[in-house]
Amino acid sequence: MRRSLTGIKPTNLPHVGNYLGAIRPAIALAERFESFLFIADYHALTTVRDAEEMRRHTYDVAASWLACGLDPERVHLYRQSDVTEVFELTWVLSCLIATGQLERGVSYKDALAKGEAPNAGVFNYPVLMAADILLYDADVVPVGKDQLQHLELARDVAARFNHLFGEDLLRVPEAHISEAPLVPGLDGQKMSKSKGNSIPLFDSAKKLRKVVMKIVTGSESLEEPKVAEGSTVYEMYRLVASEADAAEMKRQLEEGGYGWGHAKQALSEALEAEIGPKRERFEALRSDEAELDRILQAGADRVRPIALRTLDRVRAAVGMRVRG
């Protein structure tokens, strides 16, 4: 079976946008690939400066994915920092990448454009990402169109290594362009914790409804027809409701006599139907950090032999001793 690999930074408690746009599609993808899913705590160090926050969000992410249906017996779920071999490959790859390539990195350029002084971790981020991918012989990497640049660097450095040291030593990964939806937040922009427009994933049903009622809508009266397409309420509703129910909401909004408040109530109920059953599972998992540690370590133990085989090939190819 071909392999896919996905990383998630533990920088926040997941929200509804993460679930609909990343978690649900990735779990579905695991039906078609041998899936590697790692919690990218080393990547998170570029911004996280609080040890307790790092630990807390690492457990939050693990519990969220498991509660949403990830099967740790089928998916390799592990902490990035539990397989430190990734740094050896990162160094080898960094010796084959021109600094100009890193200077053109999206995250690095964005930081400069904002007048920030990015740390070296931001600068070298694409190299570590390439090592994350190449260490496990990943065939495909799910990415959005805005993330293609980082994958292209991984493909480029793998091809360069193979050209210099021997064909097929590193697997050149393909992009799996994500068809996951762009989930709107309360203000209609992409849902993001940093923008303050997100809907927490596992809040109580009462809190969920309260947040949903804050969604920005038009000011049409109850009787007036409303444009469903493009409205945050409708676009989010059709991500969690059946096609028939979504079509019915669209019809009611466009005919009039159906207010935005009615639509928000329907959205709240649909979200609760989707997420509610997972809430109890999340709370049980999150309260047992020892069990989460066990699951993550078991995942790391399964993937480390793959990482070591890759490094054996790399070390032999560049003229270093292969460890027995």
Task: Name residues whose C-beta falls within 8 Å of residue 304's C-beta, 6 or more positions apart in sequence.
Answer: 83, 85
Q: What is the pLDDT of residue 178?
A: 74
| Residues 63 and 286: beta-carbon distance below 8 Å | yes
Q: How far apart are CA 130 and CA 157, in angstroms?
A: 8
Is there a common fold for 3-183+288-318 and 205-283? no
Q: What is the pLDDT of residue 147?
A: 73
Q: Where are the alpha helices (DSSP H) in 166-259?
A: 205-212, 232-240, 243-255
Q: How far apart are CA 297 and CA 77, in angstroms?
A: 9
Confidence of residue 222 (pLDDT cuts 50, 70, 90): very high
The average pLDDT across 128-133 equals 97
pTM of the predicted protein model: 0.93
CATH number at 205-283: 1.10.240.10
């969920």: which residue's tokens? 208
Query: Is the pLDDT assigned to residue 146 strictly greater than 70?
Result: no
Cα–Cα nearest to 184, from 253, 135, 231, 246: 231
Q: How far apart are CA 111 and CA 103, in angstroms?
A: 11
Number of C-beta neighbours around residue 260 at 10 A? 21
Confidence of residue 89 (pLDDT cuts 50, 70, 90): very high
């995250």: which residue's tokens? 107
Query: Is the pLDDT assigned to residue 252 strictly greater than 90?
Result: yes
The average pLDDT across 82-109 equals 96
Q: What is the pLDDT of residue 112?
A: 94
Query: Is the pLDDT assigned to residue 145 strictly greater than 90?
Result: no
Domain range annotation of the chain? 3-183+288-318, 205-283
| Residues 31 and 53: beta-carbon distance below 8 Å | no
In what side-by-side order are the strands of the sheet with 174-177?
Answer: 76-79, 34-39, 3-8, 140-143, 174-177
The whole-chain average pLDDT of the chain stands at 95
CA dihedral 185, 186, 187, 188 (to 10 degrees): 40
- Average the pLDDT over each of 175-179, 216-220, 295-299 and give the range with the smallest value: 175-179
Number of C-beta neighbours around residue 286 at 10 A? 19
| Residues 181 and 20: beta-carbon distance below 8 Å | yes
Task: Name residues whose C-beta falls within 8 Å of residue 317's C-beta, 6 or more positions apart in sequence.
Answer: 161, 165, 166, 169
What SS3 class is residue 82? helix
Number of C-beta neighbours around residue 316 at 10 A? 14
Q: What is the pLDDT of residue 181?
A: 79
186 phi and psi angles, rounded to 5 deg: -60, -30
176 phi and psi angles, rounded to 5 deg: -110, 95
Confidence of residue 150 (pLDDT cuts 50, 70, 90): confident
- pLDDT tens-digit map of 32-68: 999 999 999 999 999 999 999 999 999 999 999 999 9
What's the one-letter identity of residue 54? M
Query: Is the pLDDT assigned to residue 144 strictly greater than 80?
Result: no
Query: Considering the domain 3-183+288-318, what is its CATH architecture?
Result: 3-Layer(aba) Sandwich (3.40)
